[in-house]
Amino acid sequence: MQSLLLDFLKVTESAAVAAMPWVGSGDKIAADGAATNAMRENLNKMKMDSTIVIGEGEIDEAPMLYIGEKLGAGGSHEVDIAVDPIEGTTPTVNGQGNAITVIAAAPKGTLLHAPDMYMKKMAVGPKAKGKINLDAPIEENLKAVAEANGKAISALTVLIQDRPRHKEYIERIRQMGAKVRLFNDGDVIYATATCIEKLGIDMFFGIGGAPEGVLGAVAVRTLGGEMQAKLLPRNDEEIRRCNEMGISNLESVLSHDQLVSSDDCVFVATGITDNLLIDGIETEYTNYITHSFLANGKDKQLRYVKSTYPIAQTV
């Protein structure tokens, strides 16, 4: 997978650059379509046989790289891919922060193959790996994470999306004395942030999209942390689709190994607008300057890459 890392970088950079003209436009469909088309075009140039195992779908009703789509120009690499051409479409078109384009990849058969649906998730950094249990009360997890990190519970910072469905959890976390940092968009960004010590984030928790869950799980694995998750089907149709994809026990927590079962995985993200992980695209004379985040699970190494793209080539 490491040999494909720079090719995946070109995929995310191209998608971010394609989305740039739509920043602040208010047009979510056009922005997502531009990023998706650029991502698909560059994935199809890569020397690999790949399958989208989890991607955009019905939750957003957006242009998508659909689940089961085959991509690549052929070759010896057989790859599972999880994608989000724009993680943070709303902030992109509103000219706000917290938007990236992102891709995660691993050898065939090692990423969770699941429908686009809701998923409950918890992520922590390397120090708390092996200490969490998504089935346990949030209070027990806070105690375990505090002990693993050598902190008082009052010193913990928990990231959780600002949604009505999280109101009870937010209140319980605060009652324990921990700090809650709310965010509106950027699920993958904030799951990944738990593994970057300088950011001071101890836990990510909440209910969001399954594609973002798998992307986050790869990012967290590449950086030595842990994620657990549980699919939350809303109706019989989603249950049927899970069963068709081989997921029959929907009551069980998905371990990190079930989300991504190989350390030979890669995670690449390019900023569209500024966010907690990386800067967004800058305009400098006749160029776009992109900022990207590359991580691979084999050596648990994180790289930051800055690239230049002539604007004339992107119109």
For 240-280, the pLDDT digits (tens) are 888 888 888 888 899 999 999 999 999 999 999 999 999 99
111: closest CA among 186, 52, 56, 174?
Answer: 52
- The annotation status of 164 as a binding-site residue, yes or no, is yes
Mean pLDDT across the stretch 89-96? 95
Query: Is residue 185 marked as binding?
Result: yes
Q: Which of 130, 212, 115, 208 minimizes the C-alpha distance to 169? A: 208
Q: Is 237 annotated as a binding residue?
A: no
Domain shared by 290 and 188, yes or no: no
Q: Is 224 assigned to a binding site?
A: no
Which CATH number fits the domain that encloses residue 56? 3.30.540.10
Higher pLDDT, residue 127 or 58: 127
- Is 69 part of any known ligand binding site? no
**Within-domain flag for 23:** yes
The answer on whether 165 is annotated among ligand-binding residues is: yes
- Does residue 250 share a domain with residue 122? yes
Domain boundary among the residues 241, 259, 277 is at: 259
Residue 83 confidence (pLDDT) above 70: yes
Q: Is the pLDDT of residue 66 over 90?
A: no
- Is 101 in the same domain as 16? yes
User: Does residue 159 lie in a domain region?
Assistant: yes
Question: Residue 230 domain-assigned?
Answer: yes
Please give the residue range of the domain that contains residue 102. 2-111+264-310
Select the more confidently predicted residue: 242 or 79: 79
**CATH code where residue 164 lies:** 3.40.190.90
Let me know if residue 315 belongs to a domain. Answer: no
144 and 38 within one domain: no
**Is residue 295 in some structural domain?**
yes
Is position 87 annotated in a ligand binding site? Answer: yes
User: Taking residues 45-72, what's their average pLDDT?
Assistant: 76
pTM as predicted: 0.93
